[in-house]
Amino acid sequence: MDVMHLRFFLAVARELNFTRAAESLHMSAPPLSKRIKALESELGVRLFDRSTHHTALTDAGRALIPLAERVVADLDALPSAVRATHHTDLRLAVPDELTHEQRRRISAVADQVEETHRVIISQMPSLEMPEQLLGGEIDLAISHLPEHHPDLVGTLLATSRVVAVVDASRFAGVDAITTADLRGMTLVSGPRHWDLRYGPCTRLLRDLGVLVDAAHRYSTITGMALMLRGGDRFTLVPEGTESMRAIDRSEFTLLPISDLAMPMDTWAIRRADGHDLDAVVAALAAE
């Protein structure tokens, strides 16, 4: 049985007029009548009582309507149902710190691609991402470190300013500080894998008379807050990250260092042969 016969039947059952049904199907009435007769012949029952001025459903016709509607609806839903079972996994790695805007952008892009991809997100230090990409463990990385491996491709997504976090009592009433203001203070280090990101600036600060406490590190905002108590210690953080939004501004101040250029770049990195992710990367990079 051709499913088109069921579509023709439903059109006539809806209109109870062969001419109007034919018009809705963009065909003429005689071929439509012929198709209905063929369906009746195949089923061995009359579906309509016809007269010159009247068309009515028979009991068999009324019984066929819900069956025909279900078959046609199921057939129409078949393409999307099949596509839904063939989602491609997109294994996305994100770093330990993201700005609020970056986090929202990643979430929005994940929502955009959910019809074709099943997005699986993991979190790891940027330093570990290249090995995971090259090993096929992840497909796309959001990293704070540029990548120079020939088998990996990076796209710059955003640049954030790095600021100093100090006790609110230390530089009250100022909007920015200089490296000279930090002389004699102690730089408290964050997680060890941050060293590659801030290493050159840390060495410069040490040369300018800043003390560096590399033996004691914080890994959370709670640890940072406790280690910065008092006015003689500071740390360096990217401005606008989710964790920095949680800092109590009555206790700590975030101040740019006007004579120290220390941006934090955010990159989308994929394997060089991963051109199927170009659209995803472009969406992540969109303003």
> Same structural domain for residues 270 and 134?
yes
Residues 164 and 257 in one domain: yes
**Residue 145 · residue 193 · CB < 8 Å:** no
- Domain end marker among 54, 82, 110: 82
Number of domains the chain is built from:
3
pLDDT tens for 74-121 read 888 887 766 655 568 899 999 988 888 899 999 999 998 887 888 999
On average, the pLDDT of the chain sits at 88
d(CA 162, CA 175): 14
Tokens describing residue 256? 């740019």
The residue type at 61:
G
Same domain, 44 and 167: no
What letter represents residue 59's amino acid?
D
Q: What is the pLDDT of residue 85?
A: 57
List the CATH number of the domain containing 152: 3.40.190.10
State whether 269 and 130 are in the same domain: yes
- Domain containing 40 equals 1-82
Pair 232, 95 in one domain: no
In this predicted model, what pLDDT tens digit does every residue of 27-81 receive, in sequence order? 999 999 999 999 999 999 999 998 867 899 999 999 999 999 999 998 888 877 6
Amino acid in position 73: A
Q: Each residue of 191-209: pLDDT tens digit?
A: 765 655 566 677 888 888 9
Distance, in Å, from the CA atom of 57 to the CA atom of 188, rounded to the nearest integer, reads 84
Among 73, 113, 71, residue whose Cα is nearest residue 90: 113
DSSP label of 87: P
Residues 10 and 140 placed together within one structural domain of the fold: no
Burial class (CB in 10 A: 0-12, 13-18, 19+), 97: buried
Q: What is the CA radius of gyration of the chain?
A: 33
